[in-house]
Amino acid sequence: MNSVLVYFSMIFGSCFCAYAADCIKPKGNELTYGNVSKHCFTVILIGIAGLIPTFISGIRGISVGTDVHGTYYEIFTSIKKGHTEWVRDIGYGFINKIAIALYDDYHSVLFITSFLFCILCAKSIYNCSRCFSESFLLFFVTCVFFLSMNMIRQSLATAVCLVSIKYIEEHRLVSFFICWALAISIHTSVAVFGVLLILYYIELTPKRIILLIVITIIFRTVLSNGIVMAITKIPFASKYFAWYIGSAYNSGDINVYSLILSSVILSFLLYIYKRAHKDKQYNLFLWCMTLSVVILLLSDKIPLMRRVSWIYNFSEIIFLPNMFKYIKQIDKRIMLKICIYGMLTAYMIITVFIKGHNEVVPYVTLFDSK
């Protein structure tokens, strides 16, 4: 099966449905018959845009995705046998239990997790994005979708956190904590997402960003040693984290591509600071990208820091399209979109299709693999 054709057809179909939703979504909040019908059609189109990648991911063979035929299959078989030593994350274990009860096959886990991930991301896009089509494009070109076909637990947990952003903005603390707790039950790494609830109320200025980055660069070794020491003092975290310290994940290299991409988007946010600084959503996105850059600067000293940065980077798919409204000149806005989206698309092509990251190429279905 032609992997490029499958994936690019998926991207086109999903973005086309999202674009159609952009075209018909109601302009106001009045409860007129026209607005209600437009709202219903918009929801349906966004749902279809989310179901297209669900289908592609859900029926994939177990050879698609680095850990799909290893870690996650072992978790499934362990739970199926009644063992508990593999169940580090209760929420993900519960999903496996449901899959076993409904249809006693590993592929049912892949379909359920794919469905939950894509629909939760589609819901977040619908709730928070001003441009659905651009958000769905970012869903693919930032490799969020392709990561989910490999890093199933963390991606699903981060998608739950993405939904909770709306609750931060609406000051619905109970709803936020429910989402956050649910996300942690799927993958404990997303515990770091909770800091955004506090940072939402703290204004981040360019001077503070520069100071934070400079301090990180100067004291990288001290900060890294302190973080590792703190983590190893926590019994559960130490048991899970200790293995990675001496493994291939602790490569001693900074992920340059990820750092450049995060830095470019952070630079764009700083460029629009004077026009956008009163926007609470902008401030939250600014925090996300600043944290991502700081974390990536420590990625050569602490294993898994790139994965932690992804938790904050996921917000790009809902926030980034909203920021272009602060570029008033249409030609300049179009040029910036072409540059940023083009750069992200090139990153997707290089990492997914040329370098084979996440091992989602070649694409095969569960029917091909039988």
Q: Give per-residue pLDDT as tens, 162-174.
A: 999 999 999 999 9
Q: Are 62 and 152 within one domain?
A: yes
Residues 20 and 72 in one domain: yes
- Whole-angstrom CA distances from 90 to 123, 238, 364 are 24, 18, 30
**Interval 131-154: pLDDT, tens:** 999 999 999 999 999 999 999 999
Q: Is residue 262 part of a domain?
A: yes
Cα 367 → chain centroid: 28
247 & 151 share domain: no
Considering the domain boundaries, does residue 81 fall inside one? yes
For residue 85, what pLDDT is reported? 58
The HSE-up count of residue 281 (CA atoms within 13 Å, CB side) is 20
- 364 and 266 both lie in a single domain: no
344 inside domain: no
The answer to whether residues 23 and 133 belong to one domain is: yes
Same domain assignment for residues 300 and 368 = no
Q: What is the mean pLDDT of the chain?
A: 90
- Read off the pLDDT of each residue in 234-252 and give the average, rounded to a whole number: 58
Judge whether residue 80 has pLDDT over 90. no
For residue 270, give the DSSP letter: H
Predicted pLDDT of residue 104: 83
Tens of pLDDT, residue by residue over 19-55, are 999 999 887 666 566 678 888 999 999 999 999 999 9
The verdict on residue 346 lying in a domain is no
Domain encompassing residue 40: 1-190+358-370
pLDDT of residue 201: 94
3-state SS string for 279-290: CHHHHHHHHHHH
Say if 335 falls within a structural domain.
no
What pTM does this model have? 0.92
Cα–Cα distance list, 197 to 36, 167, 182 (Å): 33, 10, 16
State the average pLDDT over residues 200-208.
95
Euclidean distance between the first and final Cα of the chain, in Å?
14
183 and 299 together in one domain: no
Model pLDDT, residue 302: 80
| Contact yes or no for 185/148 (Cβ under 8 A) | no
Residue 211, CA distances (Å) to 55, 205, 321, 360 in order: 45, 10, 27, 39
Q: Residues, the chain, total?
A: 370
Regarding whether 182 and 68 lie in a shared domain, the answer is: yes
136 and 38 within one domain: yes
32 and 151 belong to one structural domain: yes
Q: How far apart are CA 175 and CA 168, in angstroms?
A: 9
Q: How confident is the model at residue 115 (pLDDT cuts 50, 70, 90)?
A: very high
DSSP label of 248: T
Query: What's the pLDDT at 246?
Result: 55
Q: Tell whether 16 and 123 lie within a shared domain.
A: yes
Averaged pLDDT, 225-248 = 65
